[in-house]
Amino acid sequence: MSNSQTIISSAKKGVQILLSQCIELGLKHVVISPGSRNAPLIIAFNQHPDIQTHVVPDERSAAFYALGMAQQLNQPVGILCTSGSAPLNYYPAIAEAYYQQIPMIVFTADRPQAWVNQGDGQTIVQHEVFKSHIRYSVTIPENEGSKDLNWFLSRELSAAFHAATGKVKGPVHINLPFSEPLYNQSELAISNSDFKNIFALEPDTKLNHRQRETIKEIWSSSSKKMIVCGQMAPNENLERLLSELAKDPSVAVLVENTSNLVNTAFNHCIDRSLNSISESEKADFAPDLLITIGGAVVSKRIKTYLRTFQPKAHFKIGYDFLFMDTYQSLTHTIPMDENRFFKEILDFEIAGNSRYGLMWKQKDYLIQDKSQAFFAENSVFSDISVFNTVLDFIPESSELHMANSSVIRYCQLFDPVKSIHYRCNRGTSGIDGSTSTACGAAIVKPETWHTLITGDMSFFYDSNALWNHLLTPNLRIFMINNAGGGIFKIIPGPKSTAELDDFFVFNHQFSAENICKAFQVEYSSAKSIEEIENQMPDFYAYAEDGRPKLMEIFTSSAINDQELDAFFEKVRL
């Protein structure tokens, strides 16, 4: 930006300082939902050439858009709304960002504090409203030039951005009460001397001699070592280090698609492998030492298995949630970068006679063959055959977004493709923002195909994701419509109740066709594998009008659970 360029902004000096400091701290994108109380910030962000603004009317959808953008960019993305109930609609995405460690800057406009709980319109208690799922929260008094208020604003913004982007990333909340007038504008006239950034330097953590010897002793005395990798962004260096560790025959590396770690030495389909371990073998496949890294793990089976066959030692590596004890066996929490940790233990001696890692990998190879045989022999059209078909057509070097519930579980049964990045909102595992997250991600990576696989319940729940002017031509959606919440027919419990159809599955006959028509999304449908395959060449061709495309695939809820059971029976060794 040229120093001589005139920029119009809000007339409120505090807003001008906030805007200028946010830019200096690296904010480039802000997702805005229309309102009145947030007018000073709308004007300031939208008029500045260094900020890209994106308008999403529905606040819940807007927050998930920002989450998808921040996930792709690995940079903080702002969200901005008016006062009252509007901020509350941000909460699902804020909770997701909190557990996924995704940096988001949450700006909420507020009424002057004197009018809170005084019957004024569109006014609730907004101070620390997200306090249980936020990395930092502050309410900043309206600033009209006071030196102390300038200092307070600058200090708090520095603290907030550090909390969002430090070693433990996540959402932060900046609540801003504004008095009227709200729409007055003036030339932006703020210099760097009007604010002061404070930079937090975080030294890398490493093991001291005593700590290293303790870990070495446990490592060397464990003949069965298991590394379980949860959700994380692609990390080539970590993948290389783990592949080196997997050469040790005493080490089994278990990953999920959402781990984004792909190597022939790893066990990629945890549920598939566990399904093939007999009762008499379970103790043999249980680890002496468990090492866990990354975020949430999808597989409920591995959680149950490790809680039952507990390791003697469990190292949790990483800076976040230090005492999160998912497997009820935590003995050491190590706040350290995963790459640095594994680089250090690569120097440890390889165990002598153990074949533990080879046992796990042998199961994996045998199950791959049986899985392929199942689909070669089985012609029944069902959810699992749809996934087997659709996943083969996902373009190389693209982003695959998976909705929660049955979709993410089905995807974990198929080996990942190395060039594809796998995304899912597993922080809280909700169905409420899968489409919005994928749409937001597609905006900031326009050169890449973004494919969302979603179920009918998740799609209908988040259909407002399509209600804006931001949809991009690189977005494709497969909506698998099995007329209800299919997850409740494939998990134990719901099928034994009289409430299954109406309260758990929620049977319906709705379709996405008219929703697509309303929001100008190109629509097609399929009711067989042949129909899916015939449409694929056109589906991944760019539409002439530049609109995204959705294929609705109808399956029968009466047989989906039976076919999944048949698959697991086939791949059982």
* Per-residue pLDDT tens digits for 389-401: 999 999 999 999 9
Please state the rounded mean pLDDT for residues 552-572: 91
Quote the tokens at residue 428.
């809280």
What's the confidence (pLDDT) of residue 349?
78
CA distance 569 to 66: 42
pLDDT at 255 over 80: yes
Pinpoint the alpha helices (H) of 378-433.
383-393, 406-411
Provide the pLDDT confidence category of residue 1 given band limits of 50, 70 and 90: very low
Question: Which amino acid does the sequence have at 475?
Answer: L
Average pLDDT, the chain: 93
What's the confidence (pLDDT) of residue 145?
67
Please state the rounded mean pLDDT for residues 290-300: 97
Please state the rounded mean pLDDT for residues 26-44: 97
How large a percentage of the chain has pLDDT more than 90?
84
Provide the pLDDT confidence category of residue 572 given band limits of 50, 70 and 90: confident
CA distance 26 to 385: 45
Helix (H, G, I), strand (E, B) or coil at 334: strand
| List of domains in the chain | 8-194 (3.40.50.970), 210-363 (3.40.50.1220), 378-570 (3.40.50.970)
Provide the pLDDT confidence category of residue 421 given band limits of 50, 70 and 90: very high
pLDDT at 2 over 90: no
Query: Count of alpha carbons within 13 Å of 55, Cβ hemisphere only?
Result: 8
What's the confidence (pLDDT) of residue 143?
72
Provide the pLDDT confidence category of residue 159 given band limits of 50, 70 and 90: very high
**DSSP code at position 449:** -
Please state the rounded mean pLDDT for residues 136-156: 89
Residue 255: strand pairing partners: 229
According to DSSP, the β-strands at 185-187 and 8-10 are antiparallel
Please state the rounded mean pLDDT for residues 125-152: 91
CA distance 257 to 487: 19
Give the pTM.
0.94
**DSSP code at position 186:** E
Tell the burial category of 565 from Cβ atoms under 10 Å away from its Cβ (0-12, 13-18, 19+): exposed
CA distance 361 to 338: 23
What's the confidence (pLDDT) of residue 502?
67
What's the confidence (pLDDT) of residue 265?
96
Residues 6+ apart with CB under 8 A from 258: 230, 231, 232, 296, 298, 402, 408, 422, 423, 424, 426
Question: Which amino acid does the sequence have at 6?
Answer: T
Quote the tokens at residue 567.
């698959």
pLDDT at 92 over 90: yes
